[in-house]
Structure 1
Amino acid sequence: MAFEDDKVLPVITNQKMNDYLKELAELAGIDEPVRQTYYRGNERIDEVTPKYALLGTHAGRRTFICNALALGIPPQVVMKWTGHSDYKAMKPYIDIADDIKANAMSKFNQL
């Protein structure tokens, strides 16, 4: 079976992929409420949104990066895989992975 332009798999837009991810997560029952706080001028706004509504391909990308770093894959390798050319853009993910590792070590030290 071939799709448009003789592609093996269909090519869809990023927005359509995000719509499908949200729908799938809703069907899977990933609906815990998530509180988000932001400011519009001096006004504080609190919103509660079901988790499935917040999912998208970029959330998957961030999760992949954090998990890869937490597993000990060198940042340079992850940067190559994800197309990051700037170490500064990778730094927040490295900090999260370092926190995950430190938390795991503290659990080990409680034995």
Structure 2
Amino acid sequence: MRDIFLFSCFTGLAYVDVLQLSRADISRGIDGEKWVVKKRQKTDTPSRIPLLPTALKILEKYKDHPQCLNEGKLLPVLSNQKMNAYLKEIADLCGISKPLTFHIARHTFATTVTLLNGVPMESVSKMLGHTNLRTTQHYAKILDIKVSEDMRMLKDKFKI
């Protein structure tokens, strides 16, 4: 369960898209590296995501998993209800009061993994399979820390 959640944190894929992920959804990108290339279930919009090292390690870990081999999937995904129940239990054990759901992984990819590390919003939007930039801008609203860091660099340039 942890690995599936982390995979989503490093790809931005929604639960249903991780559930349906098969070998056919992995291909070589323009850079020669492995990418997830699939249409999002929710919007039927193409999503193209270069795989980061952590995501690749998780895929490698499960390549010979019996459930994956039997179902033709890349990861042994539990039901969304089970995943969220386990995440709630983890949150309780860790003293996290914020509701912890599988969708938080997608949010983490959009904010912590990409936007806070300087990936342009247009690229994040494309990887998330959003149909317009406004949807992605919702994630960016909470990133005042990024704005602060960007402006600190600008202030340094203007120092006398």
Q: One fold, TM greater than 0.5?
A: yes
Matches within 5 A, 1:53-92: 54-67=99-112, 68-92=114-138
1:65, 1:78 within 8 Å by CA — same for their partners in 2?
A: yes
Q: For residue 24 of structure 1, what is the amino acid of its counterpart?
A: I
Matches within 5 A, 1:12-51: 12-27=78-93, 29=94, 31-32=95-96, 50-51=97-98
Percent same amino acid at aligned positions? 38
RMSD: 2.6
Tell which has more relative contact order, 1 or 2 (C-alpha 8 A, sep 6+): 2
Question: Taking structure 1 as reference, are residues 66 and 7 closer, same or farther at Cα in structure 2, changes over 3 Å only?
Answer: closer
Structure (1/2) with the larger strand percentage: 1
Residues in 1 aligned to 2:103 and 2:80: alpha-carbon distance in whole angstroms? 10
Q: Which ranges of structure 1 fall in alignment gaps of 5 or more residues?
A: 33-49
Q: CA deviation at 1:92?
A: 1.9
SS at match of 2:142: helix
Q: Which ranges of structure 2 fall in alignment gaps of 5 or more residues?
A: 1-64, 156-160
Look up the match of 1:40.
none
Residues in 2 aligned to 1:105 and 1:5: alpha-carbon distance in whole angstroms? 46
Higher Cα radius of gyration? 1
Q: CA deviation at 1:94?
A: 2.5
Look up the match of 2:21.
none
Q: TM-score, normalised by structure 1?
A: 0.61
Residues in 2 aligned to 1:10 and 1:71: alpha-carbon distance in whole angstroms? 30
Q: TM-score, normalised by structure 2?
A: 0.45
2:121, 2:137 within 8 Å by CA — same for their partners in 1?
A: no
Q: CA deviation at 1:87?
A: 0.8
Look up the match of 1:42.
none
Aligned residue pairs, count? 88
